[in-house]
Structures are given as C-alpha cells and as structure tokens.
Structure 1
Amino acid sequence: MELFSEVCTPEQRCLSLGRTCEELVELREKLREWLIACPYLPQEITDQKLEILLLNSKLSIERAKELVNMHYTLKANLPEIFTNRDPVSIINAKLLDYLSFAILPKLTPEKYRVFITQVRIQDSKEDFEINVWDYHKYIYMMVDMRNTVDVCMGDIYAFDLAGARMNHFLSFTPSVLKKSEMIVTKGYGAKIAGIHFINAPSSMDFFINVLKATVKAKIFERIKVHSSLESFYNYVPKSILPADYDGDEISMAEIQKKWHKSMIEWTDWFKKEEALVPNESLRPGPSVNPDNLFGTYGSFRQLDVD
C-alpha cells in the first residue's frame, strides 16, 4: 500500500549535504565492512537501512558507526518498546481509544516529514490513562516501517492536545522524556526540524517547564506552542494537512486506517526486525549497563541533533 505520495530522492538528500549518491554507496560499503568486523552487532541489516543511518549521520562514517551501535543497543535495552511488536495487539490496545497518530503522506515545502499525535476529546469527565510505553511502541513500529521507504530533509512533530488532561502530562516524567529524546536523536539520528503543540490546555505551562529542564537546549528552542491553527500553518501548510485541521488531505482516521492495514501486512517483517539485537557475549569490553546507558549514556559519545 502506498503510504507516501511524496518523498525526497536519495540524490536530493545527498545534494543537501553537499555529497553525491556515489559517495553514499561507497560509504555504505565501508560501513558494511565495519559491521562485519563487529560480530556482536546484527549482520542482517539491509543496505537501505545502512543508507538511512548514514544520511541521518550527515554521511559521516564515524557518526554512522556510533548510530548503528546505539540504534541496536537501545532496541535491546528498551524491551517495553521494541519487543512483542504484534500489529494486531497494538492496533487494538486501549491507547487508540484516545489517541490518533498519523505520518502525513506529503512533505512540507522544505521537504520535512510531519508526524501528528492527536489526543481526542472524550465525552466522559473521568480521567483516562495513556500508557506511555504502548504509545512509544506504536509510534516506533510506524517509524521503522517509514524508514524502509521514506527519505526527507527532517522531521516535524506536532501534538494536538485538545483532549489532553493534567494526568497525561504527569505520565511523561523527566525519565520518560529523556529516554524519548535519546531514542529519537541517538537511536535514530533524526533531524528534528520542529516540535509544535496546538490546542494546548492551560496545564501546558507546567509541561513546558518540565521539557525545558529535561531536553537539550537545542531541541527546546525548536518547540512552538500555537494559540491558533493560523500560526501552525506557517510551518505546516494546509495543503498537506488532514481534513481535521481544515487541510486538503484525507482525515487522520483515514491515514491511520491505511497504516494499520500495512502494519498487519508487515507482521512477519516486525518479527524479523525484533530479532536484530546485539549479542552482548561477543561485545568487546564490558557489556552495556542500562543504568549507565540511560543515566550518563555510558561510554557512548553524544551526537548533535544537527
């Protein structure tokens, strides 16, 4: 099923970095040679996956090595997100009674891919829980699918908080937010072009303060809280937005339905991907300590967002 109606070509992405596709292929082969020399890492990584990780590393072979290492190390150390990735189970999880999530099929004029999380307004006055780990599992199942077919210049994350309540903000503790930041920037090497909050409740002020104290300043500077959709349109035009936001595209529900159909079709692929984790018994030096990984980040050098 066609999930994207617009993507960048590898040539465009390489050109944006001042490089060529020929250099991308050469670097991929070098990265493959390095991978073979690291038997503790999974060897079944596809050429396409290596190219995506190289592009996310700005075609720096050393940064790409770190990214490959961290990508699979994080997967092994976050089982709550990266194991038991059964599409039918996650699609039917209670989480989706309250949330919609869509990766938009078209790019912004700057060639950014837009992700929208929508907390839907509920009729009941009672608080409802959002399982933060189911949320991450669901998103990264879609992100992993996306990374097999999509090339773009960066990501925009938008959060429609029309139905959000104070207990939802409290669920995203500093620990959860730090892990989220680490997965996005160090595990996937994503270029975060912007983080946008729309329809935010008054309790958003509290959450902004938590974000400011938790995430890197470089990321915090890219956060925008919009008082109206009009200001949001300056970053994400109506021409690519779902109908829910007076946009020209199909609704969030229709986009989500397409993704769910594809996720089920990819069930076997998810099983194979889940098995791709490091063999710690073969890793040179001490095995990874999760406390160090998520505390001081252990011996892994920090990667810049850009």
Structure 2
Amino acid sequence: MFHLEPPTPDQQVLIRQALNEDVNTRDKDLEAIKDWLRKEPHLPDTWDDTMLMNFLRSCNFSLEKTKRRLDKYFTVKAVVPEFFTDYDIASPEIRKILNMVEIGTMPGITPQGRRVHIVRIATPEYEDFDTNCCGKVLFMLAHIYFKIEKEASAGEIYVLDGENCMLKHFLKFSPIFAKKFLVCTLDVLPVKIKEVHILNPPFFVDSIVALVKPFLKEKFFKRAHFHKDLSTLHEYISKDLLPEEYGGTAGKLKLHWDKYLAACEAFKPWFKEQEKIKADESKRPGKATSYEDFFGLHGSFRTLAVD
C-alpha cells in the first residue's frame, strides 16, 4: 500500500499557512461541517472524516466555501454516474484504461509542501477506448490519493508526458467531455493544482489548449509549462521527486503505478460504500440541480476558477 512521506516540521508550517489551517480550531470546523450535513435534507448525514478534512483544506478552512464545494461534489456524484460509479478494476472497460497508462504519486514532498504526480500513456498501441471511462479511472485514482494523504499538501504538481499521445486518440475527446471533466476536477474535487508540466508535447498541443481554453481562466495557463526535454523540467522539480524514467532517483514509475493498482483492489469495499453517498435531489429545498445546471449552455460554471 502507499507510503507518502509526511512533511517536515518546517514544511508543515508552510502548508498550514498556505491552507489557513489552525490546529487549535480545525476539529471544531470539522464538527461544524458535519453538523451542517445533518441539517441538509438532500445531503448525506455522515461521511468520511479524512475526506471532509480534505475539502476544508482545499477551501482554506472557509466554512461557506467548503459547504458549496461539498454540495457540488455530492450533486455531481448523482448527475454524472459515468465518472463516479462502478469503480471495479476487474471490468474490461476499466482494465483497458489501466493497461494504457502509468500514473504515480511521488512519496516525497517539495520544499513548498507540494506533491508531485506523474501521468503518462505507457504505449501508443491502444485502440477503442471510452473517454468517459478514462474520466472514471482518473477520478477513482484521485479518491485513493485523497484518502491516503493524511497530512495534507499545499498543492499538487502534475507532470503530463505526451510522448505516446497520438492525434487519432485525442480526436475522441470532445468539448463536452472536456468541460465535464474540468468542472468535476477544478470546481468539485478538493484539489489545488499549482503547476502543470507538459513533457514531450505532441505536435497538436495547440489543439489540446484550444479544447480546454474556453473553460479555464488565464491564471491556470500561467501555471502550465512545456518541456521538450528533461533539462528544463529539472529546473522546476528536483530529481529526488522524479522517477528514474525522468532522470530522477525516486524509483521506477511502474513501482508507483503498481501501488495505485493494489490500492484500487484494496479500496473496492470503500468504493462500493461511496456510491451510495450522494445528493438526493428530490429532497433538496427549492429547485433541484440538474446536469444542465453544471454543464449546459446556461450552466453556472462557464469559466472555472483556480485557487
């Protein structure tokens, strides 16, 4: 199973400052959110304390922001089942995606208190995959990370390797999918993306940017960096926080990917329980929230903010 190195005392101070986390009041804030959940008829009465604390941290311990994000989270679980149900790695659809990729979270942490995640397509020889299933797998892995990150980080750094990304596969991803995926990631999950590094960008990278640009604020693109080789990547991320395939000393990426695969199996009972924990729109006070409210032309999430 996973082992993520905890932050040093100095890093912990930086992280708590970045998240506005007060060790003297955070438990009281957690209880306030749990009490709020019990009073909302359309939301689950109880939930996982680790996950709730992650939402508080992602919202800098603002109770009102946390409530809004949690409401969105439980709602999209109800209206986007294609992303949030059937987390079974034995299913042929999910197994196909798992065989295509290698994803790893590095055990160490940057001096700024951030975690480094590596995502790459393992082979260009993949065909006939479902884009919604791609989203499902990524959200499944994200939930594993949220569950095992006990100490919190000050944000996430993603390294996306485009070496085996091919145009015929990119063409499967529609603007509708892009918007749905980005809304569920940036406006719903308890995640703070601080840097995105695109290594070996494919020749059609401008088309990828054009696909996602309508849904993201300029602030996000200032955090994106493109690297044609490892030399410039190492200027941002130290080698002890990169796998061997990327000139680092943190072990093989495949070993870190195997940890995620083992966790997918170990978390199966927890995933099954989580499917029941979602909003019941028939009990929401006022107008029920629909799929169109999130993703339609008149939805509320036209352009996504990034913390």
CA-to-aligned-CA distance 1:208-257 (integer Å, 9 cap, x gap) = 23333342222122121112111111222211111111210121111111
Alpha carbons 1:11, 1:20 under 8 Å: kept: no
The reply to whether residue 176 of structure 1 matches residue 197 of structure 2 is: no
> For residue 4 of structure 1, what is the aligned residue in structure 2?
4
Within 5 Å, which residues of 2 pair with 1:1-306?
1-7=1-7, 12=13, 13-89=15-91, 93-122=95-124, 128-150=127-149, 151-295=152-296, 298=299, 304-306=305-307
Is 127-136 or 202-211 further displaced after alignment? 127-136
Letter of the structure 2 residue corresponding to residue 248 of structure 1: T
CA-to-aligned-CA distance 1:182-207 (integer Å, 9 cap, x gap) = 11221114211011111112121222
Structure 1 unmatched runs, 5+: none
- Separation (CA, whole Å) in 2 of partners of 1:168 and 1:117: 16
- Separation (CA, whole Å) in 2 of partners of 1:105 and 1:192: 17
Letter of the structure 2 residue corresponding to residue 75 of structure 1: K
Alpha carbons 2:155, 2:193 under 8 Å: kept: yes
- Separation (CA, whole Å) in 2 of partners of 1:191 and 1:231: 23
CA-to-aligned-CA distance 1:51-102 (integer Å, 9 cap, x gap) = 1111111111100000110111111111111111113337962223322122
- Separation (CA, whole Å) in 2 of partners of 1:200 and 1:130: 21
**What secondary structure, in the 3-state scheme, does the structure 2 residue paired with 1:167 have?**
helix
CA-to-aligned-CA distance 1:127-160 (integer Å, 9 cap, x gap) = 7344322222112112112112211110112211
Alpha carbons 2:112, 2:154 under 8 Å: kept: yes
TM-score norm. by structure 2 comes to 0.90
**What secondary structure, in the 3-state scheme, does the structure 2 residue paired with 1:88 have?**
coil
Is 132-141 or 207-216 further displaced after alignment? 207-216
Alpha carbons 1:129, 1:167 under 8 Å: kept: no
- Separation (CA, whole Å) in 1 of partners of 2:173 and 2:112: 30
- Separation (CA, whole Å) in 2 of partners of 1:129 and 1:101: 20
TM-score norm. by structure 1 comes to 0.90
**What secondary structure, in the 3-state scheme, does the structure 1 residue paired with 2:68 have?**
helix
Letter of the structure 2 residue corresponding to residue 22 of structure 1: N
**What secondary structure, in the 3-state scheme, does the structure 1 residue paired with 2:248 have?**
coil
Q: Aligned-pair distance for 1:120? A: 2.7
Sequence identity (%): 27
Alpha carbons 1:103, 1:114 under 8 Å: kept: yes
Alpha carbons 2:21, 2:57 under 8 Å: kept: no
- Separation (CA, whole Å) in 2 of partners of 1:213 and 1:269: 35
Alpha carbons 1:186, 1:302 under 8 Å: kept: no
**What secondary structure, in the 3-state scheme, does the structure 2 residue paired with 1:147 have?**
helix
Cα distance, 1:209–1:279 mapped onto 2, change above 3 Å:
closer
Structure 2 unmatched runs, 5+: none
Alpha carbons 1:120, 1:162 under 8 Å: kept: no
- Separation (CA, whole Å) in 2 of partners of 1:130 and 1:114: 27
- Separation (CA, whole Å) in 2 of partners of 1:258 and 1:84: 20
- Separation (CA, whole Å) in 1 of partners of 2:153 and 2:45: 26
Alpha carbons 1:162, 1:199 under 8 Å: kept: yes
Q: Aligned-pair distance for 1:7? A: 4.7
